[in-house]
């Protein structure tokens, strides 16, 4: 069974530029999570989807961050415009449903210069 796929793996952009990350969860997993992980710290939840619905986006900085999960499968996380402080690893995870084990993708390392 394929794991959670994320792309790109690395991204370097200048501040004020837009950037997008893509996530393909494990087949059949209804719940999808986006996390941000700063260097040397634990992941912080940005948004959680159950199917197509964003059920917890309380930690998503909505002035510059947006996310979508069309058709309840793949998801995209966008930042526009990026700031220096957005440099981090963005992790996607999926689970069969909200009460089951999360499986993480390898993450996208974003560097904003």
Partner 1 sequence: TQLLEQSPQFLSIQEGENLTVYCNSSSVFSSLQWYRQEPGEGPVLLVTVVTGGEVKKLKRLTFQFGDARKDSSLHITAAQPGDTGLYLCAGSPSGTYKYIFGTGTRLKVLA
Nearer of residues 61 and 106 to partner 1, judged by Cβ: 106
Of the pair 10, 18, the CB lying nearest partner 1 is at: 10
41 near partner 1 (CB under 8 A): yes
**Rounded to whole angstroms, how far apart are CA atoms 90 and 11?**
11
Per-residue tokens: 13: 């952009």
22 binds partner 1 (CB under 8 A): no
Beta strands in the chain (DSSP E): 5-7, 10-13, 19-24, 31-37, 44-50, 53-56, 65-68, 75-79, 88-95, 103-104, 108-112
Q: Which DSSP category does 71 fall into? A: G
By CB under 8 A, residue 107 contacts partner 1 = yes
Beta carbons of 46 and 21 less than 8 angstroms apart: no
Q: Which CB, 80 or 111, lies closer to partner 1?
A: 111
Task: Establish if 99 lies at the interface with partner 1 (CB under 8 A).
Answer: yes
Judged by CB under 8 A, the residue of 1, 2, 27, 42 near partner 1 is: 42
Work out whether 93 is an interface residue with partner 1 (CB under 8 A): yes
Q: Does 12 bind partner 1 (CB under 8 A)?
A: no
Peptide bond into 28 cis (omega under 30): no
Which residues would be at the binding site for partner 1 (CB under 8 A)? 4, 40-45, 48, 56, 91, 93, 98-99, 101-107
């Amino acid at each position: 069974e394929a794991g959670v796929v994320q792309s790109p793996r690395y991204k370097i952009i200048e501040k004020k530029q837009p950037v997008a990350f893509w996530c393909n969860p494990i087949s059949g997993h209804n719940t999808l999570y986006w996390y941000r992980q700063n260097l040397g710290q634990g992941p912080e939840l940005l948004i959680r989807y159950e199917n197509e619905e964003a059920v917890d986006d309380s930690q998503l900085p909505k002035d510059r961050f947006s996310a979508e999960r069309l058709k309840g499968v793949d998801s995209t996380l966008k930042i526009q415009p990026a700031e220096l402080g957005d440099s981090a690893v963005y992790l996607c995870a999926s689970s069969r449903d909200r009460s089951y084990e999360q499986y993480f993708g390898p993450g996208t390392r974003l560097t904003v210069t």
